[in-house]
Amino acid sequence: MQLGTEEIERFRARVLDWYDRNGRHNLPWKRPATPYRVWVSEIMLQQTRVSVVVPYFQRFTAQFPDVAALAAAPRDAVLAQWSGLGYYARARNLHEAARRIMDRHGGAMPATRAEWEALPGVGRSTAAAILSLSMDQPHAILDGNVKRVLARYGAIPGWPGRTAVERELWSLSEVLTPGQRCADYNQAMMDLGATVCTRTAPACLLCPVNDGCRARAAGEQEAYPSPKPSRRLPVRRTRMLLLESERGVLLEKRPPTGIWGGLWSLPEMPADRDPAEHCRQELGLAVDASEFWPSFRHTFSHYHLEIEPVRARVRGDAGAVMTGGESIWYNDRSSLDRGVAAPVSRLLQQWQQGKR
């Protein structure tokens, strides 16, 4: 897409003027917008709305106010602050990146895009956002909101996840990004996509660049960007065991990678296996008659997980649990200062309520 110099300058000026009057100036990571705080916010905002992120960001940065505190924290403590936010690989990558910053950069936050992109969990747009928003460096960004604004403005067809479409959007973003006030411009573009150029029912009359928007001129705003090609997600099934003893309910630590990596979870078993047999063979526990709770669905990006909770009472000594890994007994007196996945938290709450 070719734009003339006059249109480029007009676009930049209008976006910045709109931001001065209507932008989100009070976001917590902007007070102050240090590289550390912006980095944490950008990782949290990946695939997550601002309204959801704000309270998590505030708690997280209160617990880990700088990169040294984050790097020194145990993994469990980091995951505990992330519990419920989802996409837990982000937290693991954030923690590992903090340790690398301490080890390889002496605790100094990276000042180049290449250095940021070398860290786990940081891609091109995230690195550019950190440097522009915290240091006002002139880097173009391309998060989901910016993709939507640019795809509509340029009437760029195709799903942005395709390489050729993404390449065209990057090219347009680079052309439009100014050399001055880059922090304000990039924040403005994200705000514009989040509050005006929304996924559905965009408020085109309020858009500062509506007169140049090719999609609006054709009356096809909601046709851009093209949606991701649909596909039916496969369904997997599991049973989660609420195993009760006089000590509480059993939790196990999951492997460090994979789904819910490093989080604490209820023991799982195949949906077609007998709970008593599974507990005897895999956990070394004898259990009484099981109570099957209604199953529910938890959806990941690549599949649905049908979860059938099973509640059972452990007979005899629960001290020796043959789990092959870390395990704890959680009870009403426990402080669950460990990361747990949302479905597990939900079931623990139900279990506690059922005991009252």
Catalytic residues: 42
Write the single-letter amino acid at 193. Answer: G
The position carrying tokens 């090719």 is 214
- How many contiguous H segments (helices) and E segments (strands) does the chain have? 14, 9
Beta pairing partners, 299 = 304
Beta-bridged to residue 327, according to DSSP, are 252
- The CA–CA distances, whole Å, from 196 to 7, 15, 129, 165, 192 equal 21, 12, 20, 23, 5
> What gap in Å lies between CA 210 and CA 52, rounded to an integer?
29
SS (H, E, C) 36-60: HHHHHHHHHCCCCCHHHHHHHHHHH
Looking at the DSSP bridge assignments, the partners of residue 292 are 310
